[in-house]
Structures are given as structure tokens and as C-alpha cells.
Amino acid sequence: MLAVKLTPAVEKRLERLARRTGRTKEFHARKAIVDHLDDLEDAEIALQRSRRPMRPESLKDVARRLNVRLDD
């Protein structure tokens, strides 16, 4: 359970969206939170990977690692 205090302006926007879409305010709030968490987690993964030096790989090495056959 989570309680969030919204400004009146945000509350009105959420209510309007709920009416227009036929979905609940809770649905939209939950979706917004999940989408934002996904974005933050993706950004964190990208940041972590950008800090690790990458070793160059040949196409053949990548294909072998992924078990993909290359046409000669």
C-alpha cells in the first residue's frame, strides 16, 4: 500500500485522464510508476555498462557466443 499526496492540478489531470480513458486513477498512477521505474532501471544499467571497458569482439566470436551460424 502506498499513499501519495498530489497537487490539486495533478489530481485534476489524473481524474480527467481516467474519465477520458475509462480506466481508474489507480491504473494510471500504477502504470506511471512502473514505466518510470523501468526507465530508471534501464538508465542505471546503461550507466553501469558505460563504466566498464568493453573488449572488442569479432563477428565470428559474437556468432559463436550466441550460437548463430554465419553464411560464408
- The three-state DSSP-derived secondary structure of 4-71 is CCCCHHHHHHHHHHHHHHCCCHHHHHHHHHHHHHHHHHHHHHHHHHHHCCCCCCCHHHHHHHHCCCCC
**Is the predicted pLDDT of residue 72 greater than 80, yes or no?**
no
**In this structure, are residues 32 and 39 in contact, taking their beta carbons and an 8 Å threshold?**
no
Can you give the pLDDT at residue 70?
92
Number of residues that make up the chain: 72
Domain ranges of the chain: 8-52
Q: What would the pLDDT profile of 20-60 be if each residue is shown by its tens digit?
A: 999 999 999 999 999 999 999 999 999 998 998 888 999 99
- pLDDT surpasses 70 at 17: yes
